[in-house]
Amino acid sequence: MKAGSKLERVLKAGHFAFTGEVGPPRGANVNSIREKLKHLKGNVDMVNVTDNQTAMVRMSSWAASIICIQEGVEPNFQMVCRDRNRIAMQADILGAYAHGIRNMLCLSGDHQMFGDHPQSKGVFDLDSMQLIMMVKKMRDEGKFLSGADIDVKPEIFIGAAANPFAEPFEWRVHRLAKKVAAGADFIQTQCVYNMPKIREWIRQANDMGLTEKVYILPGVTPMKSIGMAKYMQSKVPGMDVPDEIIKRLQGVDKKKVADEGIKIACEQIAEFKEMKGVAGVHLMPIEWEHMVPEIAERAGVLPRPEV
């Protein structure tokens, strides 16, 4: 065991992992996050806690992660490179570990121009790859990036993101290989809608032996509406939504669109369960946390294993 987090134990035991996500509030509203967690508890193995996503100021991800622990839900502390230099990053990693946080997801972060403080100075002292390397060094060598010794090293299960779709597609698997080489233990991907492409990407990862070194959890986000599908197709960078998805949603009765979205998500999960090289699924129900119990039920991933 590298960190002994619940996620690590689930994966190590060979179970198909099922992880969720929660966005901290735009304020100090602790109840709102507790409310969201009620729907996730027991239905997922771990919850990603986003770090000022889309560069909008929110409660800090480590603080919201601690609230998760208080509520009995294992957090995946997300850390972006946009807002902290290497000093602050290492300090927050130590603080997070001290409070019982055992998983981290290392990300670049959306550019600050998208958020509510576009005048801010983007830090990007390290990039996501270098952040992964740094956490690994802290954990495995017990050393700060500078080389100095750490007094009680942070044992963190290291996560990274992957976008299997962006052009040039042939480069994607090599970038995954770089993240594995940097020290990623698990990968959560961008929301998947293009199944042929992810099949091909996973096949390449299998061929390169990467899936033996890293646990891959494709991202699944059920479409709530046709508008959402169109928005994701045209407006969200790095997203690949095939026309067939939109056509399928358009093909059902207006009242059944959301249900059809869940159906598509469940079909994806069913396929991922059987896909060689896939270790689980990361469910990102954007502001739809209350639907997680139903989605988990319909996807046949309940009950979650006790490990």
Partner 1 sequence: MIVAERKPFDEIRNMVSNYKKVLTVGCGTCVAVCLAGGSKEVETLNAELNLAFKKDGIEFGAETLERQCDMEFLAELDNKVDQYDCLLSMACGAGIQFLAERFPNKPVLPAVNTSFIGVNLDVGWYEEKCRACGQCVLAMTGGVCPVTMCAKSLFNGPCGGTNKTSCEIHTDQPCAWFKIYERLSGQGRLAQIMTVSPPNDWSNQKPRKVIQPGYEERIKAMHS
Q: Which is nearer to partner 1, 126 or 210 (CB)?
A: 126
- Token pair recorded at residue 62: 């480590």
291-295 long-range contacts, CB within 8 A, separation 24+: 291/39, 291/222, 291/262, 292/20, 292/39, 292/40, 292/43, 292/44, 293/39, 293/43, 294/262, 295/222, 295/262, 295/265, 295/266
Helices H / strands E in the chain, number of each: 11, 8
Residue 52's φ and ψ, nearest 5 degrees, are: 45, 55
Q: Which is nearer to partner 1, 168 or 303 (CB)?
A: 168
Contacts with partner 1, residue ranges (CB under 8 A): 81-82, 86, 107-111, 113-114, 122, 124-130, 133-134, 145, 161-163, 166-168, 171, 174-175, 177-178, 181-182, 190, 237-238
Bridge partners of 164?
Answer: none
Buried-exposed string 214-253: b where 16+ CB fall within 10 A, e elsewhere: bbbbbbbbbbbebebbeebbeeeeebbbeeebbebbeeee
CB of 178 to partner 1, least distance (A): 5
Q: Which is nearer to partner 1, 4 or 122 (CB)?
A: 122
CB of 47 to partner 1, least distance (A): 20
CB of 240 to partner 1, least distance (A): 10
- The three-state secondary structure class of 19 is strand
Q: Which is nearer to partner 1, 147 or 303 (CB)?
A: 147
CB of 179 to partner 1, least distance (A): 8
CB of 250 to partner 1, least distance (A): 24
State the DSSP string of 128-155.
HHHHHHHHHIIIII-B-TTSPBPSS---
- Token pair recorded at residue 117: 């403080």
Q: Which is nearer to partner 1, 102 or 282 (CB)?
A: 282
Q: Which is nearer to partner 1, 5 or 52 (CB)?
A: 52
Q: Where on the phi/psi map is residue 258: left (φ > 0), alpha (ψ -120 to 50), or beta?
A: alpha
Q: Which is nearer to partner 1, 94 or 145 (CB)?
A: 145
- Token pair recorded at residue 50: 């986003």
CB of 139 to partner 1, least distance (A): 17
CB of 123 to partner 1, least distance (A): 9
